[in-house]
Structure formats: structure tokens, C-alpha cells
């Protein structure tokens, strides 16, 4: 028989924000109407079921990212228990997140973090499941972990509640090798529409701050399950720990069927962001130089030191004092995003997840070997035989004019194509940031692109 749980405690304060109790009641009522079973989670530690679940879920968010949940700054130095050789050593604040060491499945080096980019060799916390609050806090608040000065007593109680009573054996629900969820997605479309789509959209792609849900859940189902159960730190995402566990697992399996982001669109937009991300997202750069801009180099005009191309070059091979990005070609975008967020690159919060993902996808899959298009000795387009000028006339002249001088806000095309053919080639392939200029990397053959560049190099360098 379907049962609606007591939602009293989900309308009360939970670590710096109000969880929408009325909103949750409406969700549960909607699920009841469409016939989805909603049952109470067993409460092993308290007679007051709702309060225990609220504390456990809050502890799960602290485990995920306590800094964001408590609206506090993390220490800027490496956590004392984290290896300087670890994969997150260039992101010291990340090493203070519990999940960075112990994993989304809480099994550390025996679980999903046993190999790959997140491996740290640190054991999980599954051995502490069922332990007393005192035993857990002795570790968490102890000198080695150092959270006594960072957490207040409520936060300490919440993290202890999660460690003791909030862990689930994710291996029972997610295949450790294939990452496939062991659930039945067939009946979960209505649940997703009721619980998730108002924020994430019907296909899971509506929020630019995060990747499309389908991609995220296929890549890291353990992370997705943790966030579904406990909510997202610092946000008003409901904690689905109130539902029957199999309902949540089936919903997770359904999310693995949702569509991916369009890779080609991501690559092409990422090329624009590499060129001038401030112009592409309509963001004003800081008035100060980028912190990693090489000392002693001539300062570029305005604040263009924040543009990726200013350091890494139009040919992606780097500039004086800065190496290029060619060695990152083929790397997973998630790994590249980690570099973009580190202290050296210091990309601001203005760039949302989708922006960073597009930029990383370009670095991973969008670079071309410009030596195949441009002769490095003569700097001329590598055309074979007579170039076909029809492409330029049909695709470019309508805006730029037959002589490439019609757009008064940019230099003559002939000048750019001869002085910096790599810049012209990049813009032919990816378009111009913040404009409706088409990106021709996918639509045109390499020969057609070379012919366009060759025609541009024949155009006048000055306006008549």
C-alpha cells in the first residue's frame, strides 16, 4: 500500500538554507497520484524518523562538499593526510572534501576510486558504518583530520549520523566495472517528470551549471546516487533519501537512458571560448593581469591576458614562456576541467559547468594540426592546384564583402589572413565569439577550408 511519509522536518532549516517542505509534500502527493510507491526509510538510530533522515542527508552533503554546504572557505593548504603526489594536489581545497579521499561509494581504494584519475590509495569509511557517534567524532574532529575547528557541533553530529547510518552498499546497485545501474528504468519516467524535470528539464539538459544528467550518470553513477539520496550542497535540491531505495535506484537507471550533450556543438562552442570566452558569455574580464601571465612579456591590450589563446596560441602550440595544449588532445574533458579550475588557471565563477565542459571538449577533441592547412615556411594555405573561390563567395562574402572589408569593426580579412593565418583558420573552423558567424569545421572538407583561407590571403590588406 502506498504511504505518504511525515514531511515535517523537511520544512525546517538544514545547514544554512530552508528545504522546501511544501514543495516536497506536493511531490509526494503527485507520486501517490501516479501510483509510485513511496515508503519510509528504516531509521536505525532514532525514534524520530524525520529528524534522523534530515541529519543523515545533511551529513551526506557535508561529506560531499562541507565548504559549500556551510558557506565557509576551505583551507588553502593541502590536507595533512593527502599525498602531495595525489591527483588533486594542485587543488588543495579539494583535498579537504571527504569524498575526494573516500569516494562517492564510501569504499575508498576498494570501490570506484580503486583506479583511475581519482585514486588516492586511501581506505574508505564503510568500516565505520554502525559505529557510535563518539567513535566517529574522535576521528573526524581529531588532530589528523582537523575538522573540529571547521565544523560546529550540529555539523559534527550530522556527519557522524551519515557515516554511521547513511551509507549504502552501492556495489549492490551499480556494476563496478560497467557502471551500469542494477535497476529497472521502465517505470521511472513519471517519477523523473515529477521530481526532477522542473529544474533539469525533461531530457536532463536544462541546467548549464552541470553536465547533462544522462552523461553524468553514465560517467559516475556513484556520485549521482549520493546526490540523489542527500541533495546537492548549498542548493535546494530535495534529498530523495525519504523514498524507498529501489525507487531511487530505478530512477537512477532511467537517468542513464537520457541523451548526451551534442559533442560537435560542444567542440565548436569550446573553440569560441578558447578564442575569447569573455566575449562569448558576455563577461567583463578583471582589470588585472591573469595571475599566470608570464612576467616580462609585453602586456596585451585591455584585459585579454585572460583569453586562453593569448598564452597558448592560435596554433595551440604555446607562446613564449607558456606551453601549448596539444598534449591534452584526447584527454578526458573531466580531467581537462580539473586543470582549468586549478589555482594556476584561476578561471572565475562566471564560467559555468557547461562553459568549462565545452572548453575542455574543444581541447580534447577540437584541435586540428594547423600544419596540414598552413605551410610553416611561406605561411600560405596548403592548396593543391587552383583554389575554388566559390566557397568564399557563397559563405563569407555576404557579411564580409567580396574584398573582405565590409565589417568595419574588424581589420581587413586579407591583412589578418596574411599576418596571422592561424587566427584566421581557427575562426573559420569555430566561428567568432559572441557573434552568429558559422563554424565550418564540421560542414566543410579540409580542402574547402584551405580554399577559403587561400582566397582570404588574396584579398587586400587595407580598406579602399
pLDDT at 289 over 50: yes
161 and 113 inside one domain? yes
Residue 209 lies in a domain: yes
Confidence at residue 9, expressed as pLDDT on a 0 to 100 scale: 34
Element (H, E) at 322: strand 322-323
- Domain-ending residue, one of 255, 277, 311: 255
Residue 1 lies in a domain: no
Give the pLDDT mean for 247-251.
96
Confidence at residue 36, expressed as pLDDT on a 0 to 100 scale: 52
β-sheet bridge partners, residue 200: none
pLDDT range class, residue 130, cuts 50, 70, 90: very high
- Domain-ending residue, one of 223, 240, 255: 255
230 and 278 inside one domain? no
298 and 219 inside one domain? no
Confidence at residue 297, expressed as pLDDT on a 0 to 100 scale: 82
29 and 101 inside one domain? yes
pLDDT at 259 over 60: yes
74 and 210 inside one domain? yes
Q: What angle do CA 359, 89, 137 make, to 5 degrees?
A: 120
283 and 400 inside one domain? no
pLDDT in tens, 140-188: 999 999 999 999 999 999 999 999 999 999 999 999 999 999 999 999 9
pLDDT in tens, 223-244: 999 999 999 999 889 999 989 9
pLDDT at 37 over 70: no
Q: How far apart are CA 256 and CA 233, in angstroms?
A: 22
Least confident of 113-117, 192-196, 295-299: 295-299
Give the pLDDT mean for 127-148.
95
Residue 3 lies in a domain: no
Phi/psi for 18 (5° steps) reads -95, 120
201 and 274 inside one domain? no
358 and 334 inside one domain? yes
Confidence at residue 134, expressed as pLDDT on a 0 to 100 scale: 96
Q: How far apart are CA 18 and CA 326, in angstroms?
A: 46
Give the pLDDT mean for 187-194.
93
Question: Which residue, among 386, 384, 404, has the nearest Cα to 395 in the 3D structure?
Answer: 404
Confidence at residue 51, expressed as pLDDT on a 0 to 100 scale: 57
pLDDT range class, residue 35, cuts 50, 70, 90: low
- Domain-ending residue, one of 220, 255, 290: 255
Domain residues for 415? 368-464
112 and 199 inside one domain? yes
> What separation in angstroms does the CA of 372 have from each of 76, 315, 369, 380, 414?
44, 11, 6, 11, 20
Number of domains in the chain: 3
Query: Residues 6 or more apart from 438 whose CB is under 8 A from it?
Result: 395, 431
The answer to whether the pTM exceeds 0.85 is no
Confidence at residue 70, expressed as pLDDT on a 0 to 100 scale: 96
Phi/psi for 13 (5° steps) reads -60, 140
pLDDT at 22 over 80: no
The torsion region of residue 123 among left (phi > 0), alpha (psi -120 to 50) and beta comes to beta
Least confident of 103-117, 297-311, 351-365: 297-311
- Decide which of 211 and 96 is more confident: 96
360 and 372 inside one domain? no
282 and 319 inside one domain? yes
Residue 2 lies in a domain: no
Q: How far apart are CA 287 and CA 178, in angstroms?
A: 47
Amino acid at each position: 500500500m502506498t504511504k505518504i511519509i511525515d514531511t515535517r522536518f523537511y520544512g525546517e532549516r538544514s545547514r544554512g538554507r530552508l528545504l522546501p517542505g511544501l514543495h516536497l509534500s506536493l511531490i509526494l502527493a503527485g507520486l501517490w497520484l501516479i501510483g509510485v510507491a513511496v515508503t519510509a526509510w528504516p531509521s536505525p538510530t532514532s525514534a524520530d524518523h524525520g529528524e534522523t533522515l534530515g541529519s543523515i542527508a545533511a551529513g551526506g552533503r557535508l561529506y560531499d562538499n562541507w565548504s559549500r554546504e556551510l558557506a565557509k572557505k576551505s583551507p588553502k593548504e593541502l590536507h595533512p593526510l593527502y599525498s602531495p603526489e595525489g591527483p588533486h594536489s594542485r587543488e588543495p581545497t579539494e583535498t579537504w572534501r571527504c569524498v575526494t579521499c573516500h569516494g562517492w561509494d564510501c569504499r575508498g581504494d576498494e570501490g570506484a576510486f580503486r583506479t583511475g584519475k581519482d585514486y588516492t590509495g586511501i581506505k574508505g569509511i564503510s568500516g565505520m558504518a554502525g559505529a557510535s557517534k563518539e567513535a566517529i567524532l574522535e576521528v573526524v574532529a581529531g588532530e589528523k583530520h582537523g575538522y573540529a575547528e571547521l565544523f560546529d557541533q550540529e555539523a559534527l553530529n550530522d556527519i557522524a549520523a551519515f557515516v554511521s547510518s547513511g551509507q549504502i552498499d552501492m556495489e549492490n546497485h551499480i556494476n563496478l566495472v560497467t557502471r551500469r545501474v542494477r535497476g529497472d528504468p521502465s517505470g521511472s519516467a513519471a517519477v523523473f517528470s515529477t521530481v526532477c524535470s522542473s529544474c533539469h528539464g525533461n531530457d536532463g539538459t536544462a541546467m548549464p551549471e552541470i553536465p547533462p544528467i544522462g552523461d553524468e550518470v553514465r560517467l559516475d553513477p556513484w556520485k549521482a546516487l549520493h546526490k540523489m539520496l542527500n541533495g546537492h550542497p548549498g542548493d535546494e535540491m530535495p534529498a530523495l533519501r525519504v523514498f524507498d531505495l529501489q525507487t531511487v535506484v530505478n530512477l537512477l537507471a532511467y537517468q542513464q537512458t537520457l541523451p548526451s550533450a551534442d559533442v560537435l556543438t560542444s567542440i565548436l562552442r569550446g573553440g569560441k571560448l578558447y578564442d575569447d570566452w569573455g566575449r562569448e558569455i558576455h563577461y567583463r574580464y578583471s582589470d588585472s593581469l591573469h595571475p599566470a601571465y608570464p612576467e616580462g612579456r609585453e602586456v596585451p591590450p585591455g584585459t585579454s591576458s585572460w583569453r586562453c589563446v593569448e598564452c597558448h596560441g592560435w596554433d595551440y602550440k604555446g607562446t613564449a614562456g607558456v606551453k601549448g595544449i596539444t598534449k591534452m588532445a584526447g584527454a578526458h574533458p573531466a580531467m581537462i576541467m580539473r586543470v582549468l579550475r586549478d589555482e594556476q588557471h584561476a578561471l572565475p565563477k562566471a564560467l559555468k559547468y557547461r562553459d568549462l565542459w565545452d572548453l575542455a571538449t574543444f581541447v580534447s577533441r577540437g584541435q586540428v594540426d594547423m600544419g596540414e592547412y598552413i605551410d610553416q615556411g611561406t605561411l600560405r594555405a596548403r592548396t593543391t592546384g587552383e583554389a575554388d573561390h566559390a566557397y568564399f563567395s557563397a559563405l563569407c562574402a555576404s557579411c564580409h564583402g567580396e574584398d573582405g572589408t565590409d565589417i568595419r569593426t574588424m581589420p581587413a580579412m586579407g591583412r589578418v589572413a596574411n599576418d596571422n593565418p592561424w587566427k584566421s583558420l581557427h575562426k573559420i573552423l569555430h566561428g567568432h565569439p559572441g557573434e552568429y558567424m558559422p563554424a565550418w569545421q564540421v560542414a566543410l572538407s579540409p580542402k574547402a577550408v584551405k580554399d577559403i583561407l587561400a582566397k582570404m590571403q588574396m584579398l587586400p590588406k587595407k580598406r579602399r
